[in-house]
Amino acid sequence: MSSNEIRGQVNLVVALGCEARPLIQLFKLKQEKNIGGLRRYRNHGGINLIVSGVGKLATATACSFLAGSQANERAAGTAWLNVGIAGHRSMPVGEGALVHKVTDQSSGRVSYPPMVLNVQCPTTSVVTVEHPETEYGEDAAYDMEACVFAATAGRFVTSELVQIYKVISDNLEYPVASVTEQKITAWIEGRLHIVEQLVEQLIDLASEYSRIYSLPGDVLELSRSIKLTASQRIQLESACRRFYALGGQSLLDKLSLQKIRSAKDLLTQLESLTATL
């Protein structure tokens, strides 16, 4: 990444404070003012963390709040990573796994987080349940938030930028009743080297995605000065991207703004400028 490029950012979503503590220390995060009981942390390197609380509603609320609070921030792009504990029928306690399939047990809805990250760790499917699992009917991880995390974060970014990493806390031989906050913190600490790799790769991926797909600043300037229909705005975005993709520079300086009286005039000038590149 070029030193003058804006780094992407990553939103870490965890359910429990004991899951968050090792991450706060690793990334040197500072707590921000609590709003609505939600604890949010961040650093100057583009890493944000929110402690959601347990369950689907709490997770959806936290993700929506965090996304809304970032609506006016200028950043190269934002990725999302859910880190937390999960039970598993056969995977050993303390092991960590990247999630490749998410199933909502109550609805049967299934999603598949794209496997775009290069880390040396197992992968697993995860089943999101309403209450802690004790029978482990499938050879999968069991948690209480993955499905709604994927669905909610997926409203704000492309699916490649929404990833889930689970650390195993219980299985058939080590029941959920044996799990304590201290053990959870220790298990997360044991996988920080993987979490750090995931975060760095997601920052790079978010930056690259934004570099390719973000709108040129010219679009915002022109949208303010010319009244556009929804269809015309799409045409404007496409024309601006094409202008810069073909090597054009300083679009606003090249347009004869005083001659533009309508969206049609603007699009016509853009087409003419692009045709000369």
pLDDT in tens, the chain (277 residues): 443 455 789 999 999 999 999 999 999 999 987 777 789 999 999 999 999 999 999 999 999 999 888 865 544 489 999 999 999 999 999 999 999 999 999 999 999 999 999 999 999 999 999 999 999 999 999 999 999 999 999 988 889 999 999 999 999 999 999 999 999 999 999 999 999 999 999 999 998 887 776 666 777 778 777 888 877 877 887 788 788 878 888 888 888 877 888 888 888 988 888 888 8
Q: Which domains does the chain have, with CATH numbers?
A: 9-213 (3.40.50.1580), 217-275 (no CATH)
- DSSP letters for the chain: --TTSPP-EEEEEES-HHHHHHHHHHTT-EE---BTTBEEEE-TTSEEEEE--SSHHHHHHHHHHHHHHTTT---S-EEEEEEEEEEESSSPTT-EEEEEEEEETTT--EE--------SS-EEEEEE-SS--SS--SSSEEESSHHHHHHHHTTTS-GGGEEEEEEEEE-SSS-GGG--HHHHHHHHHTTHHHHHHHHHHHHHHHHHHHHHHSPPHHHHHHHHHS---HHHHHHHHHHHHHHHHTT---HHHHS-GGG--SHHHHHHHHHHHHHT-
